[in-house]
Chain A
Amino acid sequence: MLPLTWDIVVQGIGEVGKLIFFVAVAVISLEVVAYLILVKWLKFKNALPFMLMLPALAGVAILILYPFGFNIYLAFSNMSMYRFKEFSVGWQYGISNLLDVFRVPVLQRVTFFQLFLRTFIWTAINVVFHVLGGLILAILLNRPMRGKAIYRTLLVVPWAIPQVIAALAWRCEFHYQYGFVNILLEKLGLRAVQWMSDPFWAFIAVVVVNIWLGIPFMMVTILGGLQSISPDYYDAAQIDGASGWQQFRFITLPLLNPILTPAIILGVIWTFNNFNVIYLVTGGGPMEGTDILVTSLYKAVFEFYRYGFGAAYSLVIFLFLLVFSVIYLRISGGFKGAWEA
């Protein structure tokens, strides 16, 4: 056993202190250089906003761009178990890696297209329920009522629990004999379900877990949006004799749109890339029936040692997500709010 000694405390604070000091120095020197170049030398009109963004963008660029570049490099290699340290790089490997994504099973049964379809269904079901659930709860909460603060606090619990723990807890609850889900089903006179043996039910199980996890975020976001809508609109609508549904359809929804669009886009990205829930609850099983693109990517690399293939595969996944987002932005009218403000 390792007690929390003074040494550990001091060492931790010391390191963090040094780091913050280092970051401060780095930011200041970066700014000085930028000032000299942009203001003194180039006399750049937009120097100030660029200087404000510089530290953040530099950090993001280094942390994303270098690894991303390395990933592209790996995608053109034949790195695998037998060629782990001495792999070669070349166009032909890149092309065959890319073709393999669509040509051979990504793991052992499921192919890319099956996984893509499943990921699509997974994302669609989740986001629809997140938004619907969040919307219903937000509308119910958006009124003067008793116990509002308590409801709000309790409803946020799934979001506040560390995801790893929530996922493991749920996995136990889908246990055939000991999980409360089956116990409850039997109490209601229904048959117990073999959640972990049947791919269909396993998929339902992970979807349920993820819906449970994701509703609070949407609820809070939408509630924020609802509260910013002026009550005058509703008063006016009531005078005109608009029904509740009409008020929702013609006032609430359009005014929520600027908040819903980014929330939905982020929700889609997060759900699409959600690794934890599936990996921890079912591990992608049974029969690879609950694997989605990102879990299969992780398995291909770390369990099947297909580094080169995995790098190519990850680029394909990234591109699919990118294309989807662009299309969605075009259709929904996008971030008009964000651009114009």
Chain B
Amino acid sequence: MRRVFVRMLVCVMLIAMIVPLGAFAQKNMTITLWTKESEAEGVLQEIIELTKEFGKAHPGVEFEVVNYGVEDLRQNFQSAAFAGAGPDLLWTVSDHAGPFEAMKLIKPVDALFGAGYIDKFVKPGIEAVELGGKVWGVPLSVGNHLMLLYNKKLVASPPKNTDELIKVGKELTKDLDGDGKPDQYALVYNLNEPFWFAAWMGGFGAWPLDGTEPTLNTPGVVDALQFVYDLKFTHKIVPMECDYDAADSLFKEGKAAMIINGDWSLSGYLTDEVKKNVELGVARIPMVTKTGLWPSPMTSGIYFMFPEYVSADKEAVIKDFVEYICSEEIQLLFLEKYMRLPALESALKSPLVTDDPIVKGSSDQMVVGKPMPTVPEMRAAWDAIRPNQEAVMAGKATPADAAKAMQEACENLIREMKK
């Protein structure tokens, strides 16, 4: 055994000595890009292609594209930037601007690119990452908003308001195989996820934050909680338990007439395989009859953010790259392939946006959306809403109690965060 071990050691050492000879040849500039895009939709592969394309025009520039999940990206960037060794460019969601700005880990982009460049993007896209009078990201696409998607094979036209939704919903929830349990649902969505609940909040005239102040214990929030509670327990038009994968799967299989899902999911419902079961229609989430307001899904977007420690010579190249990706041509490519609404004012006027019924439906919904607050306090609001929303959806708390608990939790969290 020992002899084998020694032999292995010798082999390994020999290889170890040969290898480094080639490794220290002239190094070019390598730009590390961290992105939240994964292979699940194919966007990661697209990014890698684009960096190669960019490299052709910029000899000597290489990209290292690294994918992390949204949460991992945030946590990793914090640790990396704290230790002083992180990526050169971030491709991530707008909510990260708040904490990164508070931690002083990124730099404002208006100073970097000049106001003229920033003005080319649509206003809501810029407002979503504006903090303290400065802009902290360059938008790749705006939207990321929820909308009502319906299967024309099951429901001819979408309900216009919530009364209609409940009425149609009761007809569409069916027990097809007669085992006493429904196996076709009227409406599916991620029942316990605050991001979905936020849209309903807007429909009842409520919103989690007013500036940086939590406004969760309001009649609107109570009504919204009562409404989602009723969908599940009173009207029974949503499944008893439904997470993202279940909702997505039910809709794809044609077992759900309607789904509330985001623009990122659209391309997944247009594949040939899904088309066998689903004829996709896009509409606004039905108006809340009680208030006469449209539910307002949160709009945000995908942004480039610039770590504050990147050297000037790298930054010049990175600026070129960002301008390349944010050009009209590439933004329209992302629209066509992945249904991402462009952030450039000029690109939004393209016939690709105005003539396609699905894209039009999506942008129609976006009009009534509200930008997701970028302030770090929003994080506290999410975390405060989640457990209490779960409590209502489990029938463990009344809407009034839950709203009160949300407000208290949110205030506590903000106080702890600011300590």
Binding site for B on A (CB under 8 A): 1, 10-11, 13-18, 20-21, 24, 78, 80-82, 84-85, 100, 104-105, 107-109, 175-178, 192, 194-199, 285-288, 302-306, 309
For B416, list chain A residues within 8 Å (CB): 100, 104, 304, 306, 309
A17 lies within 8 A of B16 (CB)? yes
Smallest CB gap from A196: residue in B: B241
Chain B 84-104 interface 0/1 with A at a Cβ cutoff of 8 Å (1 = within): 000000000000000100111
Q: How far is the CB of B21 from chain A (nearest CB, A)?
A: 10
For B249, list chain A residues within 8 Å (CB): 178
A285 lies within 8 A of B390 (CB)? yes
Q: List 21 A-B contacts (CB under 8 A).
A: A15-B16, A17-B14, A17-B19, A18-B16, A21-B12, A82-B103, A85-B103, A105-B412, A108-B387, A177-B246, A178-B246, A192-B240, A197-B192, A197-B393, A199-B394, A286-B390, A287-B388, A287-B390, A304-B416, A305-B103, A306-B416
Q: A17-B13, A305-B417 are in contact. Are A109 and B387 (CB under 8 A)?
A: yes
For B241, list chain A residues within 8 Å (CB): 175-177, 194-197
Q: How many residues of B contact A (CB 8 A)?
A: 47
For A14, list chain B residues within 8 Å (CB): 15-16, 18-20, 23
Smallest CB gap from A17: residue in B: B16
Most buried by A among B12, B405, B419: B419
B12 lies within 8 A of A16 (CB)? yes
Pick the contact of B104 from A85, A105, A309 — CB < 8 Å?
Answer: A85
Binding site for A on B (CB under 8 A): 9, 12-16, 18-20, 23, 45, 75, 78, 82, 99, 102-105, 192, 239-243, 246, 249, 376, 379, 383-384, 386-388, 390-391, 393-394, 396, 405, 409, 412-413, 416-419
A194 and B390 alpha carbons, distance in the complex (Å): 12
A1 and B242 alpha carbons, distance in the complex (Å): 34
For A109, list chain B residues within 8 Å (CB): 387, 405, 409
For A199, list chain B residues within 8 Å (CB): 394, 396
For A304, list chain B residues within 8 Å (CB): 379, 383, 413, 416-417
Q: A18-B16, A82-B418 are in contact. Are A305 and B240 (CB under 8 A)?
A: no
A107 and B388 alpha carbons, distance in the complex (Å): 13
A81 lies within 8 A of B82 (CB)? no
Pick the contact of B246 from A175, A286, A287 — CB < 8 Å?
Answer: A175
A288 lies within 8 A of B387 (CB)? yes
Smallest CB gap from A178: residue in B: B246
Secondary structure type dominating chain A contacts: loop
B417 lies within 8 A of A78 (CB)? no
A81 lies within 8 A of B19 (CB)? no
For A81, list chain B residues within 8 Å (CB): 99, 102-103, 376, 417
A108 lies within 8 A of B82 (CB)? no
B19 lies within 8 A of A11 (CB)? yes
A108 lies within 8 A of B384 (CB)? yes
Smallest CB gap from A21: residue in B: B13
B103 lies within 8 A of A17 (CB)? no
Smallest CB gap from B411: residue in A: A108
For B409, list chain A residues within 8 Å (CB): 108-109
A285 and B243 alpha carbons, distance in the complex (Å): 13
A197 and B412 alpha carbons, distance in the complex (Å): 24
A107-B383, A285-B387, A288-B387 known; 4 new pairs, CB 8 Å cut-off, are A14-B20, A15-B16, A109-B405, A199-B394
For A286, list chain B residues within 8 Å (CB): 192, 387, 390-391, 394
A198 and B9 alpha carbons, distance in the complex (Å): 55
For B82, list chain A residues within 8 Å (CB): 84-85
For B387, list chain A residues within 8 Å (CB): 108-109, 285-288
Identify the 6 closest CB pairs spanning chains A and B, nearest first: A17-B16, A14-B19, A176-B241, A17-B12, A84-B103, A286-B390
B413 lies within 8 A of A108 (CB)? yes
Q: A108-B384, A287-B396, A304-B383 are in contact. Are A176 and B240 (CB under 8 A)?
A: yes
Q: How far is the CB of B414 from chain A (nearest CB, A)?
A: 10
A199 and B384 alpha carbons, distance in the complex (Å): 16
For B105, list chain A residues within 8 Å (CB): 84
Q: A105-B412, A108-B383 are in contact. Are A13 and B15 (CB under 8 A)?
A: yes
A291 and B376 alpha carbons, distance in the complex (Å): 24
A176 and B388 alpha carbons, distance in the complex (Å): 20
Q: How far is the CB of B291 from chain A (nearest CB, A)?
A: 27
A78 and B416 alpha carbons, distance in the complex (Å): 11
Smallest CB gap from B391: residue in A: A287
A15 and B12 alpha carbons, distance in the complex (Å): 9
A107 and B387 alpha carbons, distance in the complex (Å): 11
A100 and B419 alpha carbons, distance in the complex (Å): 11
For A78, list chain B residues within 8 Å (CB): 419
For A176, list chain B residues within 8 Å (CB): 239-242, 246
A288 and B383 alpha carbons, distance in the complex (Å): 10
For A178, list chain B residues within 8 Å (CB): 246, 249
Smallest CB gap from A306: residue in B: B416
Q: How far is the CB of B104 from chain A (nearest CB, A)?
A: 6
Most buried by A among B394, B396, B412: B394
For B192, list chain A residues within 8 Å (CB): 196-197, 286
For B390, list chain A residues within 8 Å (CB): 197, 285-287
For B20, list chain A residues within 8 Å (CB): 14, 18
For A80, list chain B residues within 8 Å (CB): 417-419
A104 and B14 alpha carbons, distance in the complex (Å): 59
Pick the contact of A108 from B23, B242, B412 — CB < 8 Å?
Answer: B412
For B104, list chain A residues within 8 Å (CB): 84-85
A309 and B416 alpha carbons, distance in the complex (Å): 9
A108 and B389 alpha carbons, distance in the complex (Å): 14
For B9, list chain A residues within 8 Å (CB): 20, 24
Q: How far is the CB of A81 from chain B (nearest CB, A)?
A: 5
Smallest CB gap from B39: residue in A: A1
